[in-house]
Amino acid sequence: MHCISEINPHNFRSCIDATFPLSEFTPLVGYNNGGKSNLLASIRWLLRPYSLSTTDFNNPQSPVIISSTITGITPELLDNLAETHRNRIQSFCTDGTLGIRRTQASPGQSVNSIVLEVRNPSVSDEDSENAWSRNPTGIDAAIKALFPEPIEIGAMEDATEDIGKSKSGTTIGKLIAEIMEPIEQQHGTEIRQTLDGIRQRFEAEGAERAPELNQFDEGANDKLRDIFPGIKIRLHVPTPEFRSLFKDGTIKVFEEGEIDGRDINQVGHGAQRSIQMAWLRPITGGNSI
């Protein structure tokens, strides 16, 4: 599996000049205000750059430079990419390794001014003038294809809010959103056909409405004509859209020997966090920090 195996933030917040080795799954352990969040922010900025402000610069008179090494870029992985992305990455890879770095020269520069460079595998000296290729055409889009939008899950503050419902900003909401796309691709047509059958039965404009609904409408309209002539009603039961089926998604926890599971918000915080971390592994596939 490809992953960011090393990241080097320079002049980024509290990271003056640091090197962090990473793997497919990397726990971060440290005291409060020790820079863990800054490391995560540096990875996020490397993959999805935005204009850094003065507070993002340890020294506003020097540039922020974040470089990284990506490993595990196998021929099989390249074959799964679109041809344009594959061609861009392939020419800069050596033994499945790709080196990239971004530079913002000063606070407040526009995103378009941020420089992306790719390590030139034909030049052995990293400090050589030709060691890095500046803004190669299409490489930024190719890197985005390698790494989907990062998911960042904050510390658990409100256990019920964080894990009990799949709101878009909660842990489960973010993870469910991540798995919805392949589910929709694989089963979307079948589920939509099923939902359309329900729609025809229960919605006001349904072509095959349930006889009980029609009977209710007729009885109500008989009375309504005497009270308010000229209008009629139909009971309408809206059918959910595909993605709204997940809005009440949660996790059931089954302890050994139990037949009936419990909602995850009914177990302790330690178990909840362990379940979250375990769920992250198969969903993210690549780097999990």
Among 150, 147, 64, smallest CA distance to 113 is for: 64
Return the CATH fold of 3-146.
Answer: Rossmann fold (3.40.50)
Query: How many other C-beta atoms are found inside a 10 Å radius of the C-beta of residue 228?
Result: 9
Residue 9 burial (CB < 10 Å; 0-12/13-18/19+)? buried
pTM above 0.85, yes or no: no
Residue-wise pLDDT tens for the chain (289 aa)? 899 999 999 999 999 999 999 988 888 888 888 888 899 999 999 999 999 999 999 999 999 999 999 999 999 999 988 999 998 898 899 899 999 999 999 999 999 999 999 998 888 777 777 889 998 888 999 999 888 777 766 555 454 555 545 555 666 666 777 777 788 888 989 999 999 999 999 999 999 999 999 999 999 999 999 999 899 999 999 998 887 877 777 778 898 887 888 887 777 777 777 777 776 666 555 566 6
Tokens of 7: 């990241």
For residues 224 and 269, the answer to whether their CB atoms sit within 8 Å is no
Cα of first residue to Cα of last residue in the chain, in angstroms, is 15
Would you call 215 helix, strand, or coil by DSSP?
A: helix
Would you call 247 helix, strand, or coil by DSSP?
A: coil
Q: What angle do CA 82, 177, 48 make, to 5 degrees?
A: 55
For residues 54 and 60, the answer to whether their CB atoms sit within 8 Å is yes
Any idea where the domains of the chain sit in the sequence?
3-146, 159-203+238-284
